[in-house]
Amino acid sequence: MRALCVLSFVAACCGLASAQWNEFSVGAKTVQVHGFLSQGFAVSDQNNFLTMKTSNGSFAFTDFGFNASSQLTDNFRVGAQIYDRNIGVLGKWHPQLDWAYGDYKLKDWLGIRAGKVKTVLGLYNDTQDVDSLHTFALLPQSVYPTDLRGSTIAHTGVDLYGAIGIESRGEIAYTAYTGALPFDRYGGYPHGTQALGVTLDHLSTRQTGGDLRWNNLTDGLTFGLSFITQPYESAGTVDLRILGLTGIAPYEGDSMADHRTQFYTEYRRWRLTLQGEYYRETWGIDVKNYEKLGADSRGWYAAAAYRVAKRLEFGTYHSRYYPDWKQADLSLPTNHIFDQAITANITLNSFWGVKLEGHFMDGYGEFYSFRGFYPQDNPQGLKPHTNLFVIRTGFNF
Amino acid sequence: MRSLQFLFLAVTASVCVAADAGRIDIKIIANPSVRASEISRDDLNRIFLMTKSSLGATEHVEPVLEKGGAAYEMFLKSYIGRTDSALMTYYRSLVFTGKASIPKSFASDSDVALYVAKTKGAIGYVTSDAKTPGLKTLEVR
C-alpha cells in the first residue's frame, strides 16, 4: 500500500513536472506546489548503518515532501510542507508537518517568520532532507547526521531575518530565532537510548540561536557562523536490567547545557564548488538518581565538487566526528567516526537525478553518539571499519 | 621567424574573433514602475538570488528569467556566476524551505518583454537588439 502511495507520488511528480502544473490560481492569488522524493539502496561490507540492514543490502531508504505556498501581498507569503521518511527504523512512515509559517518582509534588512520554521544552522541544516539539492547522497554525517535530523531541523516559534548589501562586496545576511523543538519520536535519539535501556516518552526542547553569513564576499565566496543553544527535559522509563537489576523505573534527564557553534565557508563559481564546516557542541545531561554525563563533541568536513558535463558532477568529502574531544585516545574506534566519500551525481533531466556513492568509514563512535552505528542493529558487535555503497535517485518538481 | 610570428598572431586573432562571434549582448529591462535608471551588478545578483526585493525607491521588484538560449547563458556568466543547474538548485532550496517561489520564466525575448511590461516591479533581461517598446532599460554599473 505504501509502495503504491510512493509510486503514485512519483507519477504525480512526473506528470506535474512535464505539464508544468505546479502553479495555479485561487481567486487573485497564485499558489505554487512543489515536491520531492528520493529512494535509495545501501549496502555495506561490515556494520549495519543508519538502522538499515545494509550488510544484506537495503532499500529501506525512502523520503518525500510536498509543499504549497503563496505570495499573498508584496510583503507577505504563507506556505506549508509535509515530510515523511522511512530509513531503516527512522521515520517509520509517520508524516510530519515539516514547516508551516507566515513570512512578513518589512524591508530587505528586516523580515519576520512565525510558525513552524526550518532552523538555519550552517550551510545545509534547513535543506538536508532534499536529496536533489545536494551533490552527495549522504551529507557529511559528522555535521548533518541523518538519524539526528529531528534534533535541529525546525522549531515552532519566531525568526527575524534580513540581508544588507555591502557595496561591491556582496551582502551580510542574518537570522535570529527562538522556539520549541518538537520531539522526533521516530528519530535516532530515541532509537539510540533504547540500547541503553531507556524508552523516551517525552522530550521537550527550546531552541534559541542565530546565523550570520557574508555572501559573495568575492564572487561566489561565503563565510558564516551559526550558534544554537537548546536546553531540554526528557522523561520515560528505564529497564533496570541494564544495571543488572530487574523491573522498570521512571527515567528523567534534564540538560545541564547544550551549546553548538558552527563555522562554515563555501566557494561556488561556475562548475566548481568547495565547502568546509566545523562545529563544536558542548553538552551535559543530569540523569535523575543516577549520574551526570557530558562531552565536548566536534565535527568537520571538507568537500569539493566539479561538474564535468551538463549532466555529470563528481564530488568528494572527508568528514570527521569526535564524540568527546577530551578523550585521551582519539584513535580508538569508539572515539571517532571518519568518512571518506566519493560520488558521481548524474542529472537525468531537470527533475530527476541519480547518485552513486562510496563511503570508506573508520570508527563507530561512543554509545551516546547515535550516528549511524547502533549496538542493537549490530548484535554481532561493531567492527572498526565500514565500507558502504549507496545508490540514490531523487525526483523533484 | 617573422612569418612564424605573423602566423601565431593571425591564428590568435582568428580564435578571438571566433570566440567573440559566440558572444551575445544582453540588456536589463524593467517595468516603468521601477524608478531606477541604473543598477549595480551586486544588486542585480541579489535580486535574481532573491535576497533583495527592493531597488532604490521601488519597494518591490520581481526577477523574470528567460530560460535557455544564449541570453540566459550570458546572463548567468555575467551576473550570477552559477550554471543553470546550480541556479535551479538554489531556487529549489528556497522553495523547499518556504522562503520564496521560483521566479517566472519564459522562452523568448518577446515573452519576457511582454510579462515585464504588464507586471509592476518586474526586472528581466533580453538580447540587446530585442524590441522592448514602453520598457525601461537599466544601465548596469
CB distance A307–B93 less than 8 Å? no
What residues of chain B lie within 8 A of the CB of A116, using their CB? none
Condensed to tens digits (0 to 9), the pLDDT of residues A311-339 reads 999 999 999 999 999 998 999 999 999 99
Question: Whole-number mean pLDDT of chain A?
Answer: 93
* Site of grid cell 508537518: A97
- Check whether A162 has a pLDDT greater than 70: yes
The mean per-residue pLDDT over the stretch A112-117 comes to 98
pLDDT above 70 covers a percentage of chain A that reads 95
Apex CA A189: angle with CA A319 and CA A373, to 5°? 45
Q: What pLDDT score was predicted for residue A245?
A: 86
Distance CA A295, CA A312 (A): 41
Contacts of A114 (CB under 8 A, 6+ apart): A101, A102, A157, A158, A159
| Closest-CA residue of chain A to B99 | A103
Of A240 and A76, the structure prediction assigns the larger pLDDT to: A76
Best residue in B75, B80, B99 to probe A by mutation, most A CBs within 10 Å? B99
- Check whether A27 has a pLDDT greater than 90: no
pLDDT above 90 covers a percentage of chain A that reads 83
Condensed to tens digits (0 to 9), the pLDDT of residues B108-128 reads 999 999 999 999 999 999 999
What residues of chain B lie within 8 A of the CB of A127, using their CB? 93, 96-97
Is residue A282 very low, low, confident or very high in pLDDT (cuts 50, 70, 90)?
A: very high
Condensed to tens digits (0 to 9), the pLDDT of residues A37-68 reads 999 999 999 899 999 999 999 999 999 999 99
| Regions of chain B with pLDDT less than 70 | 1-23
- From A168's Cα to the closest Cα of chain B, the distance in A is 6
CB distance A133–B99 less than 8 Å? no
- Check whether A139 has a pLDDT greater than 60: yes
- CB atoms under 10 Å from CB of A113, counted, come to 23
Q: What pLDDT score was predicted for residue A18?
A: 45
Q: What pLDDT score was predicted for residue A242?
A: 80
Nearest CB to B96 within list A36, A215, A270:
A36
| Least confident interval from A98-107, A212-221, B16-25 | B16-25
Q: What pLDDT score was predicted for residue A336?
A: 97
Q: What pLDDT score was predicted for residue B13?
A: 47
| Closest-CA residue of chain B to A169 | B42
Condensed to tens digits (0 to 9), the pLDDT of residues A352-365 reads 999 999 999 999 99
- From B67's Cα to the closest Cα of chain A, the distance in A is 12
